[in-house]
Structure 1
Amino acid sequence: MTWLITGGAGFIGAHVVRAMLDAGERVVVYDDLSTGDPSRVPEGVTLVKGSTLDRRTLDRALAEFGVDGIVHLAAKKQVAESVAYPLHYYKENVQGLQTLLEAVTTAGARRFLFSSSAAVYGLPDVELVTERTPCEPINPYGETKLAGEWMVRAAGAAHGMATASLRYFNVAGAAEPRLADTGVFNLIPMVFEKLTAGRAPAIFGDDYDTHDGTCVRDFIHVQDLASAHVTVAGALAGRGDGTDLTVNIGRGEGVSVREMISLIGEVTGYGPEAEPEVAPRRPGDPARVVASADRMRTELDWTARQDVRAMVASAWEGWCLYHPEARR
């Protein structure tokens, strides 16, 4: 098969591209390069520069390369930004997906993998979040991902296309330093940034109903996430048209913010300097969001392999590549 990977020049996309290539698939990257980096695209892989809102460029790419399947990763993904600019998020994430689906169904592609998010669950009050946990997103970003799942499922059913929505939990790590996440929007790089600047990392609230009072999250290595895409793509190829899968992609293990910051101190060598300062809670932060990974394990025989220390260590190598002054 030939797969069009939207957002394939981004952090997650670059890892998915490599995993698909390693599995023997043919790949074309489609990216507007607003946050993607063309140097992440492997030699020999075609990069088409274009937006998912650009129907003409999409039609041309789908026809020229004989695309059979799509992995749709391109999206805006910052929660706070989505609150400030909700219409922009709906345009990029929902209208962009609609335009892509229109092009894909017209071209006759048979497989579609959608990058969703644990943000669709909102504030789940459960020990483990299963795919049956009610979806009640609390911000425009999560709303666009849930709307995207609905649209993908409906388009698949109407046009005989096998579809899947992968609900990512907290993605971290890197396969190699140059593929590391260069953004500072998630916990691990935010702590790296503070330590590099000689400042204490922050904990937003230490009075939650958890074992140490700080929020608990499920972290997944980006290489494991990429391998999950290969597994789901293979599952769709083996199932009938109109099939739809919805799966959590996580480890099923929680790590608290305080535990993560302590581990970062160990791995980076900053030790006592990583002692955090406690700040007030942020509105909308749930106490615990940890995936049930049972469906991927039992139905698709997939399990995450890498632990949290591997995520931090590989992310740190990438951070130091781009910020050499950080290394001790």
Structure 2
Amino acid sequence: MILVTGGLGFIGSHTVRALLDLGEDCVVVQRRASELPAVLDGARVAVERADITDRDALLAIGRRHRITGIVHLAGSFPWPPVPEEPVEATRQALGGLLNVVEAAQEWGVRRLGVASTIGVYFGAGGDGPLREDAPLAMSAAVSIPTFKKVGELLGGFLADATGVDIVNYRISGTWGPLGHPDPFFAAPALIHAAARGTVPDLSHLMGPAFAEDGLDLSYVKDTGRAIALLQLAGRLNHRTYNVGSGRATTNAQIVEAIRGVVPGARVGLPAGGGGPHMVLDIGRLQEDTGYRAEYDTERAVSDYIGWLRAGNER
């Protein structure tokens, strides 16, 4: 049985769905009571309400279920980015990660996977797709990549010290059903506007959006399946894996795909952008798990618009 922290969230629920489809039983840990999301309708999933920062509550789950692996997707970083009590928020974030590692050690799990982010590569420099062995900058402008870098360093130390197989997932920009507006890319907002027949609200973005802006975007169903394959692989040759599409998707490509589904969609963006696009090299993921993306841009756009038009809010 695989335990998934944050397993009723955006990426978590799709990861659970992929694990179930691959024949695994799952138990999800969620801090707040919540119904199963629509992607898990009809699924047999054990739900444990617990906060991973509560060590005793987390460890007790292992007495109720036989946990063989852990996928840690719950946030291990302070939120909001500048919390009112930064020291305590940092203590909670790192404490949650340490509790999960302790649980993995106590339960004797085969593998612990920990979510990281494409954001760790900001400032890494270099040309071409970003490889896992690229040198990383020591600083970061926002909290999430800062804490993910710290988590990767701690994970490496603890893997060596405890013998637990700890694997990092550097996850690219992910979008699709159950997602929220993302501050770094426009695709979700464009899709929602097309499905609702409105003009997209892009006020949440960190900067203006242009047609040729691009990023390695992965449809969440592909992201969840990649994580599931990494968790279940018999042998992994590395400690860190990029999880993405391996290609840049521009806003112009998203808009074109949207208009193939909704011809009158008012989702045009001004020309411009087109600076360096962050793209992940996913060779390790493909070689060690056989992963191949199932959703190109056109299929992903059609699927997501269909999901929203079926009455789902996000």
TM class, shorter-chain normalised?
Answer: 0.7 to 0.9
What does 1:133-212 align with in structure 2 at a 5 Å threshold? 133-136=134-137, 137-173=140-176, 180-185=177-182, 187-195=186-194, 196=196, 198-200=198-200, 202=202, 204-205=207-208
2:231 matches 1:228: no
Please tell me whether the aligned partners of residues 78 and 89 of structure 2 are also in contact (alpha carbons under 8 angstroms): no
CA distance in 1, matches of 2:89, 2:275: 22
Read off the aligned partner of 1:62 and give its amino acid letter.
G
**Superposition deviation, residue 95 in structure 1:** 2.5
Question: Distance in 1 between the 2:92 and 2:257 partners?
Answer: 36
- Alignment match, 2:18: 19
Gaps of 5+ in 2: none
Partners of 1:164 and 1:45 lie apart in 2 by 24
Q: Which residue of 2 aligns with 1:321?
A: 310
Secondary structure of 1:303's match? coil
What runs of 5+ residues in structure 1 fail to find an aligned partner?
174-179
Look up the SS of the partner of 2:239 in the other structure.
strand
Contact persistence 1:110–1:160 (CA under 8 A)? no
Match of 2:217 among 188, 213, 219: 219
The answer to which of 285-294 and 104-113 deviates more is: 285-294
Structure 2 Cα separation of the partners of residues 257 and 229 of structure 1: 26
Amino acid at match of 1:19: A
Shift in CA distance, 160/63, structure 1 to aligned 2, threshold 3 Å: same
1:292 corresponds to 2:281? yes
Deviations 1:225-270 (A, max 9, x none): 22212321233x436xxx7521111121112223323333333333
Residues of 1 paired with 2:197 and 2:110: CA distance?
A: 49
Structure 2 residue identity aligned to 1:61: I
Q: Is the 1:75–1:92 contact (alpha carbons within 8 Å) kept by the matching residues of 2?
A: no
Contact 2:193–2:200 (8 Å) recurs in 1: yes
Q: Which residue of 2 aligns with 1:274?
A: 267
Which residue in the other structure is 1:247 paired with?
A: 241
Provide, for residues 85-130 of structure 1, a one-character-per-residue CA deviation record: whole Å limited to 9, x for no partner: 6837635543311222223323332310111110111144332111
Name the structure with the higher helix share: 1
Q: How many residues align?
A: 302
Aligned to 2:259: 265
The alignment's C-alpha RMSD in Å is 3.2
Residue type of the partner of 1:69? G
**Correspondence 1:20-39 to 2 at 5 A:** 20-33=19-32, 37-39=35-37
Contact kept, 8 Å, 2:117 with 2:171, in 1: the verdict is yes
Look up the equivalent residue of 1:257 and give its one-letter code. Answer: N
The one-letter amino acid of 1:313's match is S
Deviations 1:161-197 (A, max 9, x none): 1121111111123xxxxxx225222522222344537
- Alpha-carbon shift at residue 201 of structure 1 (Å): 5.6
Structure 2 CA distance, aligned partners of 1:276 and 1:171? Answer: 21
1:305 matched residue in structure 2 = 294
Which residue does the alignment assign to 1:177?
none
Identity %: 22
- 1:276 partner amino acid: L
Structure 2 residue 235 is matched with structure 1 residue 238: yes
- Residue 75 of structure 1 contacts residue 93 of structure 1 at CA under 8 Å; is this kept in 2? yes
Contact 1:172–1:311 (CA under 8 A) maintained in structure 2: no
Q: Relative to 1, partners in 2 of residues 1:160 and 1:286: Cα closer, same or farther, differing over 3 Å?
A: farther
Shift of 1:84: 6.0
How is 1:55-66 mapped onto 2 (pairs within 5 angstroms)?
Answer: 55-66=55-66
- Quick one: distance in 1 between partners of 2:262 and 2:76? 30
Kept in 1: contact 2:77–2:90 (CA 8 A): no
| Matched letter for residue 245 of structure 1 | R
Return the letter of the residue paired with 1:238: R
Kept in 2, the 8 Å contact 1:182–1:319? The answer is no
SS of the residue corresponding to residue 167 of structure 2 reads: strand
Cα deviation, residue 277, structure 1? 4.9
The CA distance in 1 between the partners of 2:291 and 2:22, in whole Å, is: 15
Letter in 2 for 1:171: T
